Chain A
Amino acid sequence: MNHDPFYWGRPSDETYGHYNHAIANAKSQIPTSHTQQPIITGTSVLALKFKNGVAIAADNMGSYGSLLRFNNIERLIRVGTETIVGISGDISDLQYIERLLHQLQTEEEVYDSDGGHNLRAPHVHEYLSRVMYNRRLKMDPLWNAIIVAGFSDDRTPFLRYVDLLGVTYGSLALATGFGAHLAVPLLRKLVPYDADYEKVSEEQARVAIADSLRVLYYRDARSSDKYTFAVLTFENDKINVDYKQDLKVENQSWRFAENLIGYGSKQQ
């Protein structure tokens, strides 16, 4: 008997002759096919830094093309105690990422018994950007745009983006999808310069995000008025996570639509 564990459970050469490795390594006739398009999708995620924290929001809709397929999708994922990951794009990939993040959390927090490392937003972002970039390299991307909100090790607000190509960037105001067109200008109006996020109060940030969500609900056909809003603050040496689900877009006024004809460029 060959005692090398590598040969366990394999047909023995004495009985069957040399194993023909070409069989195991044979290429499939059918080329491997990968994700080429998202199926059920979530629309924009919005996020904004403020003086002592970050605000992030996403609605609860899952669209199947132009069909409103789900209205109960949770797109803000809590990772550890002080990080929120907001995901737009393909929902099945979102759920896969959710699983990866839970795994990461277990590895970092449960398996570590000597209490060393704390999983924070920059680490989560770095992890996700590696996952996204490596999947792109395999030409099998996770069809999402992701915003990670939380705090750096020095407890300053952290906000960073990563998408299906592995492109990453940070800014004081971030939005994915349609929000990049409609919400970012509104959020930037509050703070034109990146370094000035310290001049924005929590209340201002909340209002700005809520206003942006309303504008998006008016104009983005794949958005809903039911959303989740998370506000992370660092106060008195403690991080507080205010995570609210099932919120409604308030103060809607459709007056502007009354005189709207066609695509809105012509009035009457």
Chain B
Amino acid sequence: MTTIASEYGNENNSVPIEHRFNPYSDNGGTVLGIAGEDFAILAGDTRIVSGYNIDSRYEPKVFDVGDNIVMTANGFAADGAALIDRFKSAFKWYKFDNNNKKLTIQSAARYIQHLLYGKRFFPFYVSTLIAGLDEEGKGAVYSYDPVGSYEREQCRAGGAAASLIMPFLDNQVNFKNQFEPGSDGRVKKPLRYLSLEEVLALVRDAFTSATERHIQVGDGLEVLIVTKDGIKKVYYPLKRD
């Protein structure tokens, strides 16, 4: 603090020197959600980093938040955990206040927008994804930017290696740049739902490749699979280098 005397003797104006505390950090990691016809998955690696340090090799970040909805918030870990905590308690109150009504995925999605936009001027520094089944029983994935802009998608990658995985997903899930053989690049390959086996294979390929090319990704892959029968959790080891 320096004190600057004004022209009035008894009136001192203090100007603090800028020396700001940075309230954010990047804890790395990457996440991925894909919707199928009657299922949806949310996957994330289990590594947590700060700078070049691997702080933990197993710190799960994809959670079952109730009513067959899974959620993850990747980026700044403290905000991610806080956002999910807030959603879980909001979920509880929704149940208390609405006679135990089931929270649909689109209501959950809109509510999370409010959680994020509510902190528009001190944002949660995370890429948020939720996955579940919609009212027709079709797989649904919703994705968000840090301040709450959201949309429903067939698939979305978030976090450190999003830019590595997303083009791969565009090609393999939405068949971008794929054409009917013999059509000379004029007829697009028609869209179709992928099976769970196909999706899991894509997820594993995406993460092993991201692990190869991104230093903040690795150690383990945890996938939460949502079907009408509930949520299943599977774990695959990844390279630890």
B81 and A31 contact, CB distance less than 8 A: no
Shortest beta-carbon distance, B54 to chain A, in Å? Answer: 8
Of B20, B21, B82, which is within 8 A of A133 by CB?
A: B82
B57 and A165 contact, CB distance less than 8 A: no
**A35 to B23 CA separation, bound complex (whole angstroms):** 12
B48 within 8 Å of A by Cβ? yes
Flag the segment in A12-20, A92-100, A134-142 that touches B.
A134-142
B1: nearest chain-A partner, CB-CB: A33
B1 and A168 contact, CB distance less than 8 A: no
B23 and A136 contact, CB distance less than 8 A: yes
In the complex, chain B residues whose CB is within 8 Å of the CB of A236: none
In the complex, chain A residues whose CB is within 8 Å of the CB of B100: none
CB contacts under 8 Å to B, within A20-62, are 29-31, 33-37
**A167 to B59 CA separation, bound complex (whole angstroms):** 12
Decide yes or no: A167 and B27 within 8 Å by CB, A137-B122, A139-B21 being known contacts: yes
**A165 to B80 CA separation, bound complex (whole angstroms):** 12
A194 and B50 contact, CB distance less than 8 A: no
Of B19, B25, B27, B56, which is within 8 A of A171 by CB?
A: B56
A168 and B77 contact, CB distance less than 8 A: yes
B122 and A169 contact, CB distance less than 8 A: no
Q: Which residue, of B21, B25, B77, has the highest number of chain A Cβ atoms within 10 A? A: B21
A180 within 8 Å of B by Cβ? yes
A229 within 8 Å of B by Cβ? no
Decide yes or no: A35 and B21 within 8 Å by CB, A29-B13, A165-B78, A168-B81 being known contacts: yes
A31 and B77 contact, CB distance less than 8 A: no
Shortest beta-carbon distance, B49 to chain A, in Å? Answer: 10
Shortest beta-carbon distance, A90 to chain B, in Å? Answer: 12
Decide yes or no: A167 and B25 within 8 Å by CB, A133-B82, A161-B55 being known contacts: yes
**A35 to B16 CA separation, bound complex (whole angstroms):** 12
**A192 to B57 CA separation, bound complex (whole angstroms):** 10
Shortest beta-carbon distance, A58 to chain B, in Å? Answer: 18
A133 and B56 contact, CB distance less than 8 A: no
B14 and A133 contact, CB distance less than 8 A: no
A181 within 8 Å of B by Cβ? yes
In the complex, chain A residues whose CB is within 8 Å of the CB of B122: 137
Shortest beta-carbon distance, B22 to chain A, in Å? Answer: 9
A141: nearest chain-B partner, CB-CB: B21
Chain B contact residues, CB within 8 Å of chain A: 1, 13-14, 16, 19-21, 23-25, 27, 48, 50, 53, 55-59, 76-78, 81-82, 122, 240
Chain A contact residues, CB within 8 Å of chain B: 29-31, 33-37, 133, 136-137, 139, 141, 161, 165-171, 180-181, 184, 192-194
What would be 13 A-B contacts, judged by CB atoms less than 8 Å apart? Answer: A30-B13, A34-B21, A37-B19, A136-B78, A165-B78, A167-B77, A167-B78, A169-B56, A169-B77, A171-B55, A171-B57, A180-B55, A193-B57
Question: Beyond A168-B81, A169-B56: 7 further Cβ-contacts under 8 Å?
Answer: A36-B19, A36-B20, A36-B21, A165-B25, A166-B81, A170-B56, A193-B57
